[in-house]
Every structure is written in C-alpha cells, then in structure tokens.
Amino acid sequence: MSWSKSGRDGAERDGASGDAPRGYHHGNLKEALIRAALELIAQKGPAGFTFAEAARWAGVSPAAPYRHFRDRDELLADVARRGFEAFEQALARAFDNGRPDPSAALDRLGKAYLAFARSEPAYYAAMFEAGVRPDANPELRAAGDRAFGVLRTACEALAATLPGPRPPSLMMALHIWSMAHGIASLFGRGDAARRPVPMSPEDLLEAGVLVYLQGLGMRPPG
C-alpha cells in the first residue's frame, strides 16, 4: 500500500528541510503523519522507523509532530485505531446481519478478514504487530472491541443453530479468530511476510472452520 503524496504545500510553514521526500497541505499535518507512518510500516515494519523519520517523510521538522502526538507510540496507536475502525466496517459489511443464514454469513466474514490483511498490510501490522498496548489508549481498545464484536455476534447467531448443549459464543469467537488471524498472518498477507501454501488462504480457513464446527455438532450442508 502506498500513501505517497506529491504536493509539498505548507512544508516550509513547519520548518521542513528542502530535501524532505513528502509534504502536506495546510492544516492537514496529522493526516500527513498518518500517511507517513503507513508508508514506513509498509516498507520497514511497525518497529522499523523513528518518530523523527515519520516527520521527515511527511516533509516537516522533527518538532512538528508533537503538535498532534506525544511520541511514536501514540502515532502508531492512532494508526491502529483507524485500522480497527476500517476493519470493523469491512467485517460488518461481509456479515450483513447474518443474511441469508449464519453459516454463509460467517464464511463471508472470514473471507473479509483475510481480504483486509491482504489489501491493508500496513494497517494490519499496526493493529497486531506494533506492540501498542490496547489498554493504554481507550479509543484504540474500543475500536478493537467493536471489530471483535462483529465476530462474536456472528458466532452467537451460528451457536443458536447448533444442537444443544450450545457452546459459549465467546469461546467460538476466540477459536475462529485464532484460526483467521493465524492464517492471515502466515499465508494471507499482502506483503513480503506472506508464506507459500498449496491452497488458498480462503480455502484453508474454510476447511478449518468446517472441521471445528463439525466438532461442535454442526452437520455439513447437504
């Protein structure tokens, strides 16, 4: 994913050096820093750049980012929060309130999970690999909880179709999330971290979830 900008409007206003690789528009410094962080994460990983390097990439002085962020961790937390918000929207669209049935909706949700990891690897890395503590930022924690809540809602709907005794939806959500996250991290990424596998990540996840649900008593379709 590339967030490069060609403009340099307003760079001199914040004391940017003349050879800075990126610029930003007046009044949009925070967004420029977010884009710089995403570009650097895509190139170097979430631990591979400094706060000063993000400032230089955005085309501003090393002091300018402190207008919006306390430090690099706070910048990464905001990137992760935005990632979780987009993630929640993608999962909710895929689930579509469980239509036409919970099983089909869960299958779409799983595919959306992998698609997000593939299409937004920088956001995904910020969300899960940056080492930012969720409890250190209430907004980040809330965004992550809302995204997980979509999966839990899907599992609640699916659990209602299982023969009794029904498993706790939280347990199901954690198990299915572990599978989806593991496959996305190992095989479904859209960057150099992706591992080769003799089947598609989507087929791998579908098979894993099917075996899991059959273990809980769900009969295969047909």
Residue 5 maps to a domain: no
Contact 147, 127 (CB under 8 A): no
Residue 170 sits in a domain whose CATH number is: 1.10.357.10
Contact 71, 49 (CB under 8 A): no
- The per-residue pLDDT for range 104-133, each reduced to its tens digit, is 999 999 999 999 999 999 999 999 999 888
- The per-residue pLDDT for range 37-87, each reduced to its tens digit, is 999 999 999 999 999 999 999 999 899 889 999 999 999 999 999 999 999
11: number of Cβ within 10 Å: 22
Distance of alpha carbon 122 from alpha carbon 134, whole angstroms:
18
Residue 205 maps to a domain: yes
Give me the amino acid identity at 179. M
What are the angstrom distances between the C-alpha of 45 and each of 114, 142, 159?
19, 24, 38
Residue 32 maps to a domain: no
Residue 189 maps to a domain: yes
Distance of alpha carbon 1 from alpha carbon 125, whole angstroms:
12
Mean pLDDT of the chain: 86
Domain boundaries, position 128: 70-216
Residue 7 maps to a domain: no
Per-residue pLDDT band for 20 (boundaries 50, 70, 90) equals very low
Residue 22 maps to a domain: no
3-class state of residue 61 by DSSP: coil
Lowest mean pLDDT, pick from 23-27, 109-113, 162-166: 23-27
Predicted confidence (pLDDT) at residue 6 exceeds the cutoff of 80: no
Residue 58 maps to a domain: no
Q: How many domains does the chain have?
A: 1
Give pLDDT, residue 191. 80
Residue 222 maps to a domain: no
What's the predicted TM-score (pTM) here? 0.84
